[in-house]
Structure 1
């Protein structure tokens, strides 16, 4: 068995819960991802484990507007988003109740797949446990192949270690899931199941 390059340290990591909003999870909603919906219980376990270990939990929320097209290339490639999906202030844009943030937990609003792009995420990570004490991000959520992967790559570029949780992320297809896991594993971070994460966190 290959020795991992590093172990997830509960004292120096933060959990990123990517875009687990009603519009991405609920059946029949504009961007519903069945795999993400099926993995909510595993995501819940990861969140509970991290909270229990004192690890900050940070949520992202993908937001679009009716008043103007804030993400024109996204809507060009996914035209249905010109009419509906993740609208500011809507029920669809809210984090699902099963994974709802607790009082005081950060929610980062974003307009691009990468949660670092034009958001305060880097500043939050740099200070949420004290100045520059977070060196690792744990990533769960959806879409695996879009927002999760983009954020993981950007975290790597910002010199964060990336722990990408394979059974707590959801893609539009098995092939897309595997392609992202292969890419992350090869170049950008560690890919591990939720059970291994819990073990490394001392659970």
Structure 2
């Protein structure tokens, strides 16, 4: 027995950090699995547009002028020099998933897309007051920003549909660990075909 059903009329598709610096080969924060997930995420984006399910994108942004995420750069020292720099091609969402006019793009400086951003306010009004109860989570990095955001969504009483083949981790082991944790405690783990079936 499932704890809740995915209903398109109260859902939003969240596309997390599918930026050139994460997706493109040879770029500073390259996640090969994220690149392999592009077809599945693109399929979900098109399906959501066709069925009227809103799409919200996030972009992780850092600055050259000051260290906006000092603990992140402490653990990832190369980020003091390169990666997701404001105004650069690397910080932009990949063309394959380019947001359309009117689709919301959230700039963030922490792994959790709710932290210090307008995401919760947007979700609380995007489909009318309190009209959203479910987030369909896609993007990268599975075990970092996707998982952090999914957990934060759960704490705010959003139902989380975490898409197993539309999220990209740094390793197969990390992917499986996050799917196991999310599916046990924080949401439902679905694949793209299951989400598409629900959207129909």
Structure-1 separation of matches of 2:49 and 2:43: 10
Structure-2 separation of matches of 1:87 and 1:38: 23
Q: Which residue of 1 aligns with 2:39?
A: 41
Q: Which residue of 1 aligns with 2:167?
A: 169
Q: Which residue of 2 aligns with 1:63?
A: 61
Q: CA RMSD in A?
A: 0.5
Q: Which residue of 1 aligns with 2:30?
A: 32
> Offset of 1:122 from its aligned partner?
0.2
2:178 to 177, 180, 189: 180
SS of 1:92's equivalent in the other structure is helix
Q: TM-score, normalised by structure 1?
A: 0.98
Q: Structure 1: where are the runs of 5+ without partners?
A: none
- Residues 15-53 of structure 1: CA distance to partner in whole angstroms, max 9, x if unpaired? 100000000000110100000001101110011111111
Q: Which residue of 2 aligns with 1:17?
A: 15
Q: TM-score, normalised by structure 2?
A: 0.99
- Residues 97-129 of structure 1: CA distance to partner in whole angstroms, max 9, x if unpaired? 000000110000000000000000000000001
Write the mapping of 1:97-108 to structure 2, written as runs, cut at 5 A. Answer: 97-108=95-106
Query: Do residues 134 (structure 1) and 126 (structure 2) align?
Result: no
Q: Which runs of 4+ in 1 moved over 6 A?
A: none
Q: Which residue of 2 aligns with 1:155?
A: 153
- Residues 29-86 of structure 1: CA distance to partner in whole angstroms, max 9, x if unpaired? 0100000001101110011111111000000000000000000000000011000000
SS of 1:80's equivalent in the other structure is helix
Q: Which residue of 2 aligns with 1:116?
A: 114
Structure-2 separation of matches of 1:179 and 1:47: 26
Equivalent pairs counted in the alignment come to: 200
Structure-1 separation of matches of 2:72 and 2:132: 31
